[in-house]
Chains A and B, each alone.
Chain A
Amino acid sequence: MPCSAKTELLRRHASGNFRDLLLYITEDPAMVLYLNTQQNRKNSPNENYARELLELFTMGTGNYTEKDIKEAARAFTGISVDQQTGEAIYRANQHDFGVKTFLGKTGDLQPADIIDAILEQPATAEYIARKFWSYFAYADPDDAIIKALGGVLRDNKYELKPMLRTMFMSEAFYAKRAMLTNIKSPVELVVGTMRALEIPPVDTANINIGMRLMGQSLMQPPNVKGWDGGETWITASTLFNRYNVLGALIAGNDNEQGRRRRQRVIEAIRNSTGKEGQAAEEALSRLQPPYDPTAAMRKYRLVTAEKTVDHYVQRLLQRPLKPDRKKVLLDALKPRFRAGDIESSQNVELIRGLIHLIVSMPEYQLS
C-alpha cells in the first residue's frame, strides 16, 4: 500500500510545512523503493534519491555540485523498507556515520541536517515558489515575483500557507496572463466536470481508464519528474479522448448494453488472473448513471433553448461565449427542443448532447 500512504502523506502536508514534507518523504516507503534509497548503503552508496531531491524536489540544477550529491547520499544511507510490513526502517549498520561536507556544512550530517542545509539556500525557496506560481498562474514568471514569494516562504520557516496567501492575494495573480492560459490536466478536466455538473463518481474503474487515455494514469507518472503538463497534454489522440471520455461520462453506461459489456470485462479479468479479484470485481460492477439534468431544469426553469444554453455555458465555462460560438450551440439544440415543457424527456437527451458539445470545445480545455 505504499501508494495510498504516500497520497495521505502528500495531502497531510500539501499546505503545511515544506520541511516536514521533505523529512517525511525522505522516509516514505514508496519513495525509498522508487529512488533506490534501500540500495543506498554505507559501502555502496546509491545517489538516486539525493540527486532527485536536489534537482527536482528542492533546488534545481546549477545550485550544487556532483560532490554535494555524493555527500547527501551518504547521509541518507541506512533508510530502508521492511519487506514484510512495508514500513520504513532504519538499519544503523548500513548507515555511514563518517564526516560529510554538504553545501558548505561539515560534520556527521544526518538526513535532517541535509534538508536544513538545502532549505537555508535562497535558491530553494525560489525554486519552490516558482513551482507554485507555474502551477497556479503561468510558467516563466518574472524574477521579482519569485524573489518576493521565496522571501515570504523563508521568513515563515517554510510554512506554505503565508506564501500561498501572498500569491493568491497578489495583483499579478489576476493579470490577463494568468487567466485561462493553462491547459487542464486530465484529472482537473474530469474531476472539474463532475463537480460542475454534480455527477457522482460511480464507475471509478472506467473514469480511471478514461484519464489514462488522456495521458494521466494516477499513481503512475511517466518518470520521477512527473507529468510535463501544459501543451504536452494535447495530442490528436488525447484531444479526442478528452472529448469522448467526458461524453461517455455524461451519457453513462448503466444500461442493459453497458452491463453486458462490463460482464465480458469481468470474465476476461477472471480468466486471466484466476480467482483473486473480488475487490476489482466489486469496483467493476458499479456502472455510471447518465447525467440527469432534471433538477437543474426545474430549479433554473430551463424552458427555452436560449436559457438552457446560457445556463450550461455559465456553469461549465464561467464566462460568456462569443456570439458566433454560442449560435452554433443554439442551432444544435433549438430545432428539437420542446420549449415550455419542463418535464420533457426529449429535452433531457438534448441537454446531454449540448453538454457534450460544450466540453468538446477548445475553450473548455483551459483553466
Chain B
Amino acid sequence: MADELFFTRRDMLKRGATLLSAAATVPYFLDRTALAMAEPRKSGRRTGKNNERILVVVQLAGGNDGLNTVVPIGNDRYYRARPAIGIKKEDTLRINDELAFPKSAEGFKRLYDDGLLAVVQGVGYPNPNRSHFVSTDIWSTADPDERVHNGWIGRYFDCTCKGNDRPDPKTGIALVQESPLAMQGERFTPVSFGSPEELTWRGPAAGGRGTNAFNKLNGTKRRPGRKNEMPDDEASALAYLERMAMDARASAEEIKQATGTNSSPRNEGIRFRFRNRGAGGDLGQKLEMVKRMIAAGLETKVYYVSMGGFDTHAGQLGRHQTLIQQLGEALHEFTASLREDKMLDRVTIMTFSEFGRRVAENGSQGTDHGAAAPLFVIGEGVRAGVHGEHPSLEPDQLDAGDLKWNTDFRSIYSAVLTDWMNADAGRILGGDYPKIRLFNT
C-alpha cells in the first residue's frame, strides 16, 4: 500500500521538521526555557471545587501492533507468523498462561497488578478500513460508513448543553496542534494547543501598551452561542473569529495558570511533578501537563493526547518496544501521580489506535496495516482484567491476514459514555451497541 510509503515518509519529514521547529521556534517565541519543568503554584493546586469525572483519551497514531503489546505467549501460531519479531516468552511479563506484556512494557504490568488496567481484546469494526486517515476518521466519528462529519466526544459536549447554548470550549482540551476530529462537535470546538507556551501574544510591543491594545482588539464580551458553521457575511465571520480569539485568550490564561507556564516569576524554581522525571518521553510530558490541569481544578471533562510513531512497517521490534515502554511508563506515572493526590477515582484513561497490524511479519521485519487489536481502559473505577476473547490466530480464521474483531469499538464508547460520563450513549453514537461491563459503578 503506497499510503504506507507516504505515511512513513511523512513521519520522517515530520520528525525532521519537529527537530527543526523545536529548536528554531522555541527561541522565536519562547524565551524561557523551563517549558515543561514548572509545576502549578501552590495556590492554583487543588482548588478542589471540581469533583466531576474526567476522561483522558490517548491516541496511538499510526496503527499500534496489538500482538506485540499484549502477546499471545500460549499460541504457537503467533511465533510461527513472526519468526523475527515475535516476542519470546522469556522476554515477557505474564498475565496468564495465554497472555503477557513485553518486558519493556513494565508500566502496563504494574497497572495491571495494581488492579487498574482493563485489556479489551479484539476491538474493531465491520469491514475494516486499512487506510490511516479513513480508519482514524472512523474511530473519531464512530461511524464506519463515514457519513458523520463530527466526533463522538464533540457530540457528547453538544449534548451537555441545552438549546442554543454553546458548551464552554475549555471543557474539552486537546494537547495537539490540530484540533482532533473526535473532539469536534456540531456546536462544540475544543481548545487545542501543542504547548501552553503557544497561547501568548508575543509582539514587539507586548507587555504594557501593546498587550493592552491586543486584548482590546481581540474581544472582551461573550457572544451568543452559534453553530460551528461557516459564516455567511463579514459581520458573522468576524463574530466567529472574535469568539475564537476570545475563547483562546480566556482559556489561555486559565491553562497557563494551571500548567504553571504563565510568565509570573513566582513560578520559577518549581519542580517537575512526576516522581520519575522525564518518564514516558513526549507523552509523559503531555500527561504531566494534563495532571497539572486536573490538579488545578479546570472544568475540563475530556483531555485528548496523542502519541505517534506506531506505523512500524520495517525494523519493528526495537522501535515498537521503545514506544510501548514509553507508553507504559507515561500511563503508569500519570496514574501514580493522580493516585498520590487522591484524584485517580475521578479519572479514566482510554487508549485507541486506528487499527492493529497484520498477524504475519512482512519481508522487512515489520508489519503492515491490520485490523482488530486490544485496547486499554485504566482507572480506579475500571473493572480490571482481560475482557473479551483473543481473536483466533488460525490462518483460516483471519480476514485477509488480519485478526477479526469480536468487540465493536462503539461498545467501548458506549460503556465509557453511559457508565463513566453519565451520558446518553444511544443518542451520541446514533444507535445501541452491546455494552461491556467495563466499570464498577
Chain A contacts to B: CB under 8 angstroms: 32-39, 46, 48, 138-140, 176-177, 179-183, 205-206, 209-210, 212-213, 215, 217, 220, 222-224, 230-232, 234-241, 243-244, 247-248, 250-251, 253, 257-258, 261-262, 264-265, 268-269, 272-273, 325, 328-329, 331-332, 335, 349-350, 352-353, 356-357, 360-363, 365-366
Contact = CB atoms under 8 A, between A and B. Distances in A.
A336 to B, nearest CB: 8
Interface in B14-55: 14, 16-17, 19-21, 23-25, 27-29
A366 B238 contact: yes
Given A265-B23, A362-B219, A366-B241, A237 B2 contact: no
B3 A48 contact: yes
A138 B23 contact: no
21 contacts: A180-B237, A181-B232, A209-B21, A215-B178, A220-B13, A231-B229, A236-B199, A237-B192, A239-B248, A244-B28, A244-B198, A244-B200, A244-B202, A258-B27, A265-B23, A269-B19, A328-B217, A357-B210, A361-B217, A362-B242, A362-B245
Contacts of A258: 27
Contacts of B238: 362-363, 366
Given A183-B241, A243-B201, A360-B214, A236 B233 contact: no
B25 A240 contact: no
Contacts of B244: 234-236, 239, 362
Given A231-B240, A244-B29, A262-B24, A356 B248 contact: no
B5 A33 contact: yes
B191 interface: yes
A217 B219 CA distance: 29
Most buried by A among B10, B16, B201: B201
A212 B3 contact: no
Given A206-B24, A352-B204, A232 B179 contact: yes
Contact of A357 (B23, B205, B237): B205
Given A231-B230, A235-B192, A362-B242, A38 B237 contact: no
Contacts of B218: 360-362
A331 B208 CA distance: 12
Interface in B333-370: none
A237 B191 CA distance: 8
Main DSSP-derived SS at the A contact region: helix
Contacts of A353: 203-205, 210
B241 A236 contact: no
Contact of B228 (A183, A231, A272): A231
A335 B13 contact: no
B193 interface: yes
Contacts of B213: 328-329, 331-332, 357
Interface string B368-393: 00000000000000000000000000
B216 interface: yes
B313 to A, nearest CB: 14
Contact of B177 (A39, A213, A262, A332): A213
B252 interface: yes
A9 to B, nearest CB: 17
Nearest to B25: A209
Nearest to B21: A209
A179 B199 CA distance: 30
Contacts of A362: 217-219, 238, 241-242, 244-245
A206 B28 CA distance: 10
A253 B25 CA distance: 11
B26 to A, nearest CB: 9
A362 B214 CA distance: 11
B252 A236 contact: yes
B204 A356 contact: yes
Given A235-B178, A272-B19, A362-B245, 14 more contacts: A46-B1, A48-B3, A181-B232, A209-B25, A235-B192, A237-B192, A247-B204, A261-B23, A264-B23, A268-B19, A331-B209, A332-B205, A350-B205, A356-B203
Contacts of B1: 36, 39, 46, 48
Interface in B93-142: 133
B204 A349 contact: yes
B231 interface: yes
Most buried by B among A182, A248, A325, A362: A362
A202 B200 CA distance: 26
A178 to B, nearest CB: 10
Contacts of A238: 177-178
Interface in B208-261: 209-210, 212-214, 216-219, 228-234, 237-238, 240-242, 244-245, 247-248, 251-252
A66 to B, nearest CB: 12
Nearest to B255: A236
A29 B16 CA distance: 23
Contacts of B191: 235-236
A314 B1 CA distance: 51
Given A240-B248, A265-B24, A234 B241 contact: yes
B194 interface: yes
A83 to B, nearest CB: 12
Contact of B20 (A177, A209, A220, A356): A209
Nearest to B217: A361
Nearest to B201: A243
A34 B2 contact: yes
A324 to B, nearest CB: 9
A309 to B, nearest CB: 12
B201 A360 contact: yes
Contact of A240 (B13, B20, B200): B200
A230 B230 contact: yes
Nearest to A359: B203
Contacts of A328: 213, 216-217
B210 A332 contact: yes
A205 B24 contact: yes
B303 to A, nearest CB: 14
A264 B242 CA distance: 38
A217 B214 contact: no
Most buried by B among A247, A350, A352: A247
B261 to A, nearest CB: 13
A298 to B, nearest CB: 22
A358 to B, nearest CB: 9
A44 B21 CA distance: 42
Nearest to A325: B217
Contacts of B14: 220
Nearest to B178: A215
Contacts of A244: 28-29, 198, 200-202
